[in-house]
Homo-oligomer: A and B are copies of this chain.
Amino acid sequence: MPDHQKPALGVGVVGYAFMGRAHSQAWRNVGAFFDLPYRPVMAALVGRSRPAVDEAAARMGWASVETDWKALLRRDDVQVIDVCTPGDSHAEIAVAALEAGKHVLCEKPLANTVAEAEAMAAAAAQARERGVRSMVAFNYRRVPAVALAHRMVAEGRLGQIRHVRAQYLQDWIADPEFPLVWRLQRDKAGSGALGDIGAHIIDVAQFVTGDRLVGVSALTETFVKERPLAEASAGLAAGGSATARGEVSVDDAALFIGRLDGGGLASFEATRFATGRKNSLRLEVNGSAGSLAFDFEAMNELWFHDNTVDPDTAGFRRILVTEPTHPYAGAWWPPGHALGYEHAFTHEVADFTTAIADGTDPAPSFADGLQVQRVLAAVEESAAGGSGWTAIQTTEAV
């Protein structure tokens, strides 16, 4: 169908910081590369500060702005609400949006607590009955290399999964003078490295293997207990004298080991203190028939060892995931022409738009998000209780 004849799908994004920018980029470009049943329209951008949201909307191409997200609920030109705020407001916005009949794409982690996530999953289940769709924005699933890894495991190329090693390594707060931003405050962020980046590797590991964690044993640590207040820090930069410090109330790093329901063993590490690692989301999976390895710092590459190959010429091979047959890649450029970080978001909104049009359930669902939340809670419980084995509650069908 020619683009101009397609029905419009009005989108409102709440938040215009890092995630708001990434989602804006996705909505702006998705139609140029994916042949979607709907024509996404960048209807409204929401932010509390009018001048700032005006400026952001103009730059990113939004048709209008709102300073209160609730205004979106009443707008007929908005069918999708895309939640890009910190975790403490996810539940309120998402539940209200679903109840108002808006399809909801919500950033991860789904919520700051299991209780919030349960409420959200319940709201999503009810909304689904009315044809209203919801999805959690675990974007890394839609990096072509990760999606290819998932497909290869599903095809049986790895055989029986024995081992998963998942790490998400960053270093942006290794400096003890880095200020106490919202991501370091429990009331806003829920947790630290665990929920911010640990949630991603839990999702990626489960998505790729098709297995789910049944229990964990965990350690967490806060290496730097106090940091300059962000405001004081800004004052300092402006020439003021700053001594005010506040408590870091979240983890700097979380390590856990666990078992998968398929019989494999898994280890996880999320940290913001891995000096020199900027955004190293790594996954390695060993199965009886083959192995896979991935590092987001080389995001267009998937390493595959095919254990059925003659040992004489076997070895980990670097698949450049830019072939037309690779997930998502065919929509873009010729082989060898890399994609970047932002493209996974474009794939995410493409899939979400298609699911809305087709009336199918997009994944990961809010129930999937709730299950990840339960893993996060089990990690915290184990770490707080002598690292003992902590079972993950099974998510009942909702």
| Chain A interface residues toward B at CB < 8 A | 2-4, 18, 22, 24-25, 28-29, 31-32, 54-55, 58-61, 148, 152, 157, 162-163, 165, 167, 169-172, 174, 217-219, 221, 223, 253, 255-259, 263, 265, 267, 269, 271, 273-280, 286-291, 296-301, 304-307, 311-320, 322-323, 325-326, 332-343, 386-389
Contact of A219 among B165, B171, B217, B255 (CB under 8 A): B217
Return chain B residues, CB-CB under 8 Å to A58.
2-4
Distance of A142 from chain B, by nearest CB (Å): 14
Known: A165-B167, A171-B286, A255-B267. 6 other contacts (CB 8 A): A174-B307, A219-B258, A271-B286, A275-B307, A314-B317, A388-B388
Return chain B residues, CB-CB under 8 Å to A340.
333, 337-340, 342-343
> Are B343 and A320 touching (Cβ within 8 A)?
no
Distance in angstroms between the alpha carbons of A2 and B57 in the assembled complex: 11
Return chain B residues, CB-CB under 8 Å to A274.
162-163, 286, 291
> Are B320 and A317 touching (Cβ within 8 A)?
no
The A interface, classified by DSSP as helix, strand, loop or mixed, is mixed
Distance in angstroms between the alpha carbons of A2 and B340 in the assembled complex: 28
Identify the closest chain B residue to A333 (Cβ): B341
Distance of A280 from chain B, by nearest CB (Å): 7
> Are B276 and A55 touching (Cβ within 8 A)?
no
Contact of A275 among B24, B167, B305, B323 (CB under 8 A): B305
Name the 5 nearest CB pairs between A and B, nearest first. Answer: A279-B336, A278-B336, A276-B305, A317-B317, A340-B340
Return chain B residues, CB-CB under 8 Å to A338.
296-297, 299-300, 338, 340-341
> Are B276 and A315 touching (Cβ within 8 A)?
yes
> Are A259 and B386 touching (Cβ within 8 A)?
no
> Are A290 and B276 touching (Cβ within 8 A)?
yes
Distance in angstroms between the alpha carbons of A274 and B275 in the assembled complex: 27
> Are B267 and A269 touching (Cβ within 8 A)?
yes
> Are B341 and A337 touching (Cβ within 8 A)?
yes
> Are A325 and B299 touching (Cβ within 8 A)?
no
> Are A316 and B257 touching (Cβ within 8 A)?
no
> Are B276 and A335 touching (Cβ within 8 A)?
no
Distance in angstroms between the alpha carbons of A97 and B42 in the assembled complex: 35
> Are B387 and A217 touching (Cβ within 8 A)?
yes
Return chain B residues, CB-CB under 8 Å to A22.
333
> Are B317 and A318 touching (Cβ within 8 A)?
yes
Distance in angstroms between the alpha carbons of A165 and B194 in the assembled complex: 17
Return chain B residues, CB-CB under 8 Å to A305.
275-276, 317
Contact of A273 among B278, B286, B336 (CB under 8 A): B286
Distance in angstroms between the alpha carbons of A170 and B59 in the assembled complex: 37
Identify the closest chain B residue to A293 (Cβ): B276
Distance in angstroms between the alpha carbons of A290 and B273 in the assembled complex: 11
> Are A265 and B278 touching (Cβ within 8 A)?
no
Contact of A315 among B163, B269, B312, B318 (CB under 8 A): B318
> Are A32 and B59 touching (Cβ within 8 A)?
yes
Return chain B residues, CB-CB under 8 Å to A4.
58
Return chain B residues, CB-CB under 8 Å to A148.
312
> Are B387 and A276 touching (Cβ within 8 A)?
no
Return chain B residues, CB-CB under 8 Å to A339.
340-341
Distance of A343 from chain B, by nearest CB (Å): 6
> Are B2 and A55 touching (Cβ within 8 A)?
yes
Distance in angstroms between the alpha carbons of A28 and B24 in the assembled complex: 13
With contacts A313-B319, A325-B312, A340-B343 known, is A219 near B259, CB below 8 A?
Answer: yes
